[in-house]
Chain A
Amino acid sequence: MSTAETRPICKPGDYKSDIKPIWCPGCGDYHVLLSFTRAFAQLSLRPEHTVVVSGIGCSSRIPAYLSCYGFHGVHGRSLALATGLKVSRPDLTVVVASGDGDGYSIGGNHFIQACRRNIDMTYVVMDNRVYGMTKGQPSPTTEPDFDTALSPGGTGLSPFHPLVIALASGANFVARAFSGEPNETANTLVEAIRHPGFSFVEVLSPCVTFRPDEREWKNLVHAAPVAATSDPAKAARRIMTDDGFNIGILYRGERRPYQSKAAAKAIDIAELEKDFAL
């Protein structure tokens, strides 16, 4: 490279760590990793001021593959951990990564509460409609007739509607993305991170090992036919009547994000102790 060339502060490559992913070749999460790095570069995020928090599952391995701070915590609780972090360190950019199992099953209640709280963070769920890490059990978004060892013949249960649940619970930004379009996904992530409050991005990310049928997704996805709305009911109706493959930003809300009530200037502890004195 000639010295005359100007370099951007951070290129996407700067956000990758030197740790090699253990994901199966062909896994959609490789593209999602790419999207993260592109989005972070576009936003010129400082790696030392960015934290990626995850739970357990294939998608949750992502923090170690990035050069930011990261937390690979316990199953299903990444949003709670990220909440404690962001509320006490509002200066950090916090992105939470999860999968359909970690996020919608064991993590279900935390998902709903996080949408309600509308704290400024971005939640990216890599949805492959299966529990990949533990070898192929159905997840809350698996089709009812999908045959597995733990549920022979399929669960017979209606799949979870994460985007609609997010809307009903108060998320401020809702989008669906597809790992096979890393640039589009990166753009969506940029907007999600920029949007104040709780942003939720569901990334359809095929599992090549346990859901080889998902290779078909690249032929099924299509851009959402209409631009995002700021009416949650309208957005919910659109999502509940779509084919599950509308890609794009589906909702941009205007809720005021969570505001800390901490005093700007701390009092002396002795002031508190006065209440105990007779």
Chain B
Amino acid sequence: MDALDGNAIAGQLVEVFGAELTTATGVCAGCGASGPVAELEVYLEAPGTVVRCRSCKAVLMVLVSRRGVTCVDLHGFAQFDVGRRIRE
């Protein structure tokens, strides 16, 4: 299966966080690579949604929804900077 990118989960992120987050900048805790969420690798068909670092392939974020509840694991990020976007 081909990986997509962060644009594909823009709607899911709005649903969970209530804000547009594809322009947010994430820093990978594994290799230090930094970039917009929109450019990260996204696998939609894993059990849940898996987001990986494009440079070192480390898992940055996992979203799993079950019975209307979404669990989000962000442990792969060293930093997650939403800038001014969260207030819009």
Q: Judge: A and B partners, yes or no.
A: no
